[in-house]
Amino acid sequence: MKLSANKIYTLNDWTFTKNIPDDERILRVKIYLKSPDQNSYIHLEIPERKKFSNNHFKARFNKLINNSIISDYEIIGNKVKPRGIITKIKLSELSLIAKLQFVDYIFIDKMNGAKKKKDKKELEFFCVRMTVLIQVEGVFSGMQTYEDRFVLIKAKDFEDAYRKLEKQEQVYVKPYLNTDMRLVRWKIISYDDCYSTGIKNLEEFNNKEGVEVFSKLGTRKVDSKNTWDGK
What pLDDT, in 10s, does the model give residues 60-70? 999 999 999 99
What is the CA 97 to chain-centroid distance, rounded? 26
What pLDDT, in 10s, does the model give residues 162-207? 999 998 888 777 899 999 999 999 999 999 999 999 999 999 999 9
The three-class DSSP label of residue 52 is helix
What is the CA 51 to chain-centroid distance, rounded? 28
Query: Which residue positions in the chain have pLDDT lower than 50?
Result: 1-4
Q: How many CA atoms lie within 13 A of 136 on its CB side?
A: 13
What's residue 1's pLDDT? 39
Q: What is the largest CA-CA distance in the chain?
A: 84
Backbone angles phi, psi at 65, to 5 degrees: -70, -20
CATH code for residues 11-116: 3.30.70
Residue 137 makes CB contacts below 8 A (sequence gap 6+) with 175, 182, 183, 184
What's residue 170's pLDDT? 81
Parse the chain into domains and list their residue ranges. Answer: 11-116, 124-214
What's residue 11's pLDDT? 87
What's residue 168's pLDDT? 85
- Which one-letter amino acid corresponds to residue 81? K
